[in-house]
Structure 1
Amino acid sequence: MNTKYIDLIDQTYFFPQEEFTLDGDHLKFHNIPLNDLVAEYGTPLKFTYLPKISENIARAKNWFANAIEKNAYKGKYHYCYCTKSSHFQHVLHEALKNDIHIETSSAFDINIVEQLKRDGKLKNEAFVICNGFKREQYIENIARLINGGHNNCIPIIDNYEEIDLLSESINDTFKVGIRIASEEEPKFEFYTSRLGIGYKNIVPFYENQIKDNDKVELKMLHFFINTGIRDNAYYWNELVKCLKVYVRLKKMCPSLDSLNIGGGFPIKNSLAFEYDYQYMVDEILNQINIACAEAEVPVPNIFTEFGSFTVGESGGAIYEILYQKQQNDREKWNMIDSSFITTLPDTWAINKRFIMLPINRWNEEYERVLLGGLTCDSDDYYNSEQNMNAIYLPKYKKDKPLYIGFFNTGAYQETIGGYGGLQHCLIPQPKHILIEKDKKGNLVTTLFSPQQKAEDLLGILGYEQPHPKKEKSHKKEKQLSN
């Protein structure tokens, strides 16, 4: 009888996979020996595998290059990184190695852009696409960037007041885009996105506020789908509506030359994940070609804003199973040494699914379990009801530690979880490890941040510390065997 965990995986999925392999009964992720990582740093821990960021950017650029050639597409392609997915310096520095552009969503993003420029990481010619609802500070920061000579900063107009607000603050002429307020999927609680300007109102808005405004040049139409780029009737229907607006605007506005197909690619959330990226890119460019040819207008340059796709698959979190609670005759709760609410908030907030696999003991018997976090909140769990699939792990044994990993967690979890601040029930933020490759291809780890201490949280809460001790910042590197 096949009762080992490896047997369960073998009969359920194609395994091993490109990023997941085994060394004996220990899991490796992108050839990272995770058991060695646990032995060196302990748990709970989070890690970011930086080379995966560059790899995904290169993949997307290649898909678009192939599609441009296949469709004889006359426009150019520009890859933008959506910074709200992860604002960390190590993420931006890695992404910007690949000659890409930036999409921002709020005022302080511009401060990051300015710092990246000072550091020589972001080129003066790079596009900075400014999305989001803009008020005083955001307007002021955008104006400062444009007035400082960054001509490829393009604010995307989200509401009817922003043209006037920007005009008052920007000294010379400037470029803008217009965001389409797309219609949401039928399952949503509302019909139309709160962001952007409705399909029917875009042309009148252009005629009233931009057409005769010598200071403003319309360059881009911004099309964003909240559910991302997916092969379903909803996505293709919204794209067709967007293209109708584009060709109508293009006929009256020669400066309009770019279409931003916002909404990202999905990332792998299961060992059974399937998505034909190349087909989707081919078909998007094909649809644009057809619409523009029928309308007899030039095709636009294409911009994409990939956030989760850029950084999501670089991240992971590792926990130890501390204890097992048998709550009734059917339910066994494996308790992790951290909290899902604080370290993987999307599992709690939007029932998001990540790939979960044990780090060790693959050659032992398995059992069905529920996973619980350390907080006293009843919602601090990760289980089959949330994720449409049963959870199986090697059997819990008091004398044999069991470690589990959640993978492709690199987007949004730190910022939504309040990185470096207060956590629910004062569960400390785990240590965070960066993993890179040196010039010889060896894996090198760096401790980016240690686990939070009691004094960190008490300081935030306003409690006076009798003998405050400031720990010196430190950088610890270790080479892992591949």
Structure 2
Amino acid sequence: MNTKYSDLIDQTYYFPQEEFSLEGTQLKFHDINLMELVKEYGAPLKFTYLPRISENISRAKGWFKHAMEKHDYPGTYNYCYCTKSSHFEHVLNEALKNDIHIETSSAFDINIVEELKKSGKITNDTWVLCNGFKRDQYIANISKLLNGGHRNCIPIIDNYEELDLLSENIDGKFEVGIRIASEEEPKFEFYTSRLGIGYKNIVPFYKKQLEDNEQVDLRMLHFFINTGIRDTAYYWNELSKCLKVYISLKKICPTLDSLNIGGGFPIKNSLAFDYDYQYMVDEIINQIKLACEEAEVEPPHIFTEFGSFTVGESGGAIYEVLYQKQQNDREKWNMINSSFITTLPDTWAISKKFVMLAINRWNDEYERVLLGGLTCDSDDYYNSEQHTNAIYLPKFKRDKPLYIGFFNTGAYQDTIGGFGGLQHCLIPQPRHILLDRDKDGKLTSKLFSEQQEASEMLDILGYNSKN
């Protein structure tokens, strides 16, 4: 009878996979011995595997290059990193090695852009696309960037007032984009995105405020889908509506030459994950070209703004199972030595699932369990995998420590969790390490931050104030 944890994984999925393999009874991630990391740094532990960021950027560039060559597409492709997914310097440093551009969401993003310019990581040739709802500080920062000579900064108009606010603060001529307020999926709680300008209102808005405006040129149309780029009738229908708007605008606006297809690629959230990236890119490029040729307008240059896809698959978290509580005849709770609300807040906020696997003891028998965090909140738990409504792990044994890993957690979790700040029930932020490879391919590790100490939280709370 197949009762080992390794048997369960083997009979449920195709295993090993690109990033996951087994060495004896221990899991390896991108050929990294995770138990060695635990021995060196302890657990709970967060890590960022930097090479995966560059790998994903290269993959996406390759898909678009292939599709554009296949369809003889006349425009260019520009990869933008959506900084809100992770603002950390080590993430931007790795991403910017790959000749990419930046998409911002709020005022302080521009401060990061200025720091990156000072260090030579980006130049005036780098596109900076400024999305988001803009008020005083964001307007001021965008204006400062443009007035300082960064003419490749394109504010994306989100509401009718922004154009006047920008015009009042920016010296000389500048370019803008317009964001389409796409319709949400039928099952969503509301019909239309709160961001952008409605499909029917874009052409009238252009004619009223931009067509005869000598200070501003319309350069870009921005199309964002909240669900991301997926092979669904909903996505293709929204893309079709977007192209109709682009064509209508292009016929009356000669300066319009770029389309930003926002809404990112999905990332792997299960060992059963299956997504044909190349097919999707091929079809997007094909549909854009066909629609433009039929309307006899020049196809646009393509921009994408991938956030989670850029950084998500670089991140992971490792926990130790401290104790098992059997609360009734069916439910066994494995208590981890951290908190999901603190360290993986999307599991609590939007019931997001990540790839979850045991790190060690793969030859032990398995059991069905629930995972509980250390806080006193009943919502601090993880109860199922993406493909099934259950979690299976090697059986808990007091004398045989069990470590578990959550993978592809690199986007948003530290930002939402408030890295370095106060955490739910004051559960400390785990130690965080950066994993990289040198020019010979040898793995290197560097401590990015220690686990939070009580004194740091007391400082924030005011208890250590000298006053």
Q: Please, what TM-score do these two structures have when normalized by structure 1? A: 0.96
Matched, 1:362 2:372: no
CA RMSD of aligned residues (A): 1.1
Map 1:24-423 to 2 at 5 A. 24-384=24-384, 388-423=388-423
* Residues 298 and 261 of structure 1: CA distance in aligned 2, closer, same or farther (over 3 Å): same
Q: Counterparts of 1:355 and 1:123 in 2: how far apart (Å)? A: 37
Q: Is the 8 A contact 1:342 1:427 kept in 2?
A: yes
Matched, 1:445 2:463: no
Q: Counterparts of 2:432 and 2:35 in 1: how far apart (Å)? A: 16
Larger CA deviation: 11-20 vs 381-390: 381-390
* Residues 141 and 93 of structure 1: CA distance in aligned 2, closer, same or farther (over 3 Å): same
Per-residue deviation at 1:388?
4.2
Q: Counterparts of 1:72 and 1:438 in 2: how far apart (Å)? A: 38
Q: Is the 8 A contact 1:351 1:386 kept in 2?
A: no
Q: Counterparts of 2:445 and 2:333 in 1: how far apart (Å)? A: 33
Q: Is the 8 A contact 1:455 1:465 kept in 2?
A: no
Per-residue deviation at 1:261?
0.3
Equivalent residue letter for 1:424: H
Q: Is the 8 A contact 2:270 2:386 kept in 1?
A: no
Q: Counterparts of 1:450 and 1:173 in 2: how far apart (Å)? A: 48
Per-residue deviation at 1:332?
0.3
In structure 1, the residue corresponding to 2:54 is in which secondary structure? helix
Q: Deviations over 1:414-462 (max 9, x none)?
A: 0000111000000000010000111211100000000000000011001
Q: Deviations over 1:287-341 (max 9, x none)?
A: 0011101110000000000000000000000000000001011110000000000
Q: Counterparts of 2:413 and 2:285 in 1: how far apart (Å)? A: 32
Q: Counterparts of 2:82 and 2:145 in 1: how far apart (Å)? A: 18
Q: Counterparts of 1:386 and 1:293 in 2: how far apart (Å)? A: 41
Q: Is the 8 A contact 2:18 2:30 kept in 1?
A: yes
Q: Deviations over 1:121-160 (max 9, x none)?
A: 0122010000000000000000000000001000000000
Q: Counterparts of 2:343 and 2:384 in 1: how far apart (Å)? A: 19
Equivalent residue letter for 1:47: F
In structure 1, the residue corresponding to 2:202 is in which secondary structure? helix
Q: Deviations over 1:329-360 (max 9, x none)?
A: 11100000000001000000000010000100
Unmatched runs of 5 consecutive residues or more in structure 2:
none
Q: Is the 8 A contact 2:353 2:385 kept in 1?
A: no
Per-residue deviation at 1:389?
2.6
Q: Is the 8 A contact 1:57 1:310 kept in 2?
A: yes
Equivalent residue letter for 1:457: M
Q: Counterparts of 1:127 and 1:384 in 2: how far apart (Å)? A: 41
Q: Deviations over 1:151-195 (max 9, x none)?
A: 100000000001100000001100100000000001111000000
In structure 2, the residue corresponding to 1:212 is in which secondary structure? coil
Equivalent residue letter for 1:122: I
Q: Counterparts of 2:386 and 2:240 in 1: how far apart (Å)? A: 34
Q: Counterparts of 2:163 and 2:259 in 1: how far apart (Å)? A: 19
Equivalent residue letter for 1:77: Y
Q: Deviations over 1:199-228 (max 9, x none)?
A: 000000000111111000100000000000
Q: Counterparts of 1:77 and 1:398 in 2: how far apart (Å)? A: 55
In structure 2, the residue corresponding to 1:446 is in which secondary structure? strand
Q: Counterparts of 1:464 and 1:57 in 2: how far apart (Å)? A: 44
Q: Is the 8 A contact 1:338 1:374 kept in 2?
A: yes
Q: Counterparts of 1:298 and 1:424 in 2: how far apart (Å)? A: 53
Q: Deviations over 1:79-127 (max 9, x none)?
A: 0000000000000000000000000000000000000010010122010
Q: Deviations over 1:231-285 (max 9, x none)?
A: 0000000000000000000000000000000000000000010000000000001
Per-residue deviation at 1:465?
6.3
Per-residue deviation at 1:196?
0.3
Q: Is the 8 A contact 1:146 1:170 kept in 2?
A: yes
Q: Is the 8 A contact 2:218 2:256 kept in 1?
A: yes
Q: Counterparts of 2:266 and 2:89 in 1: how far apart (Å)? A: 24
Q: Is the 8 A contact 2:354 2:385 kept in 1?
A: no
Q: Is the 8 A contact 2:322 2:335 kept in 1?
A: yes
Q: Is the 8 A contact 2:259 2:301 kept in 1?
A: yes
Moved over 2 A (4+): 384-389
Per-residue deviation at 1:386?
8.5
Q: Counterparts of 1:408 and 1:385 in 2: how far apart (Å)? A: 14
* Percent identity (aligned): 79
* Residues 387 and 370 of structure 1: CA distance in aligned 2, closer, same or farther (over 3 Å): farther
Partner residue in 2 for 1:454? 454
In structure 2, the residue corresponding to 1:103 is in which secondary structure? strand
Q: Is the 8 A contact 1:343 1:414 kept in 2?
A: yes
Q: Counterparts of 2:237 and 2:266 in 1: how far apart (Å)? A: 19
Q: Is the 8 A contact 1:352 1:387 kept in 2?
A: no
Per-residue deviation at 1:387?
7.3
Per-residue deviation at 1:381?
0.2
Equivalent residue letter for 1:150: H
Per-residue deviation at 1:385?
8.7
Q: Please, what TM-score do these two structures have when normalized by structure 2? A: 0.99
Per-residue deviation at 1:384?
2.5
Q: Is the 8 A contact 1:26 1:362 kept in 2?
A: yes
Unmatched runs of 5 consecutive residues or more in structure 1:
467-482
Q: Counterparts of 1:57 and 1:385 in 2: how far apart (Å)? A: 27
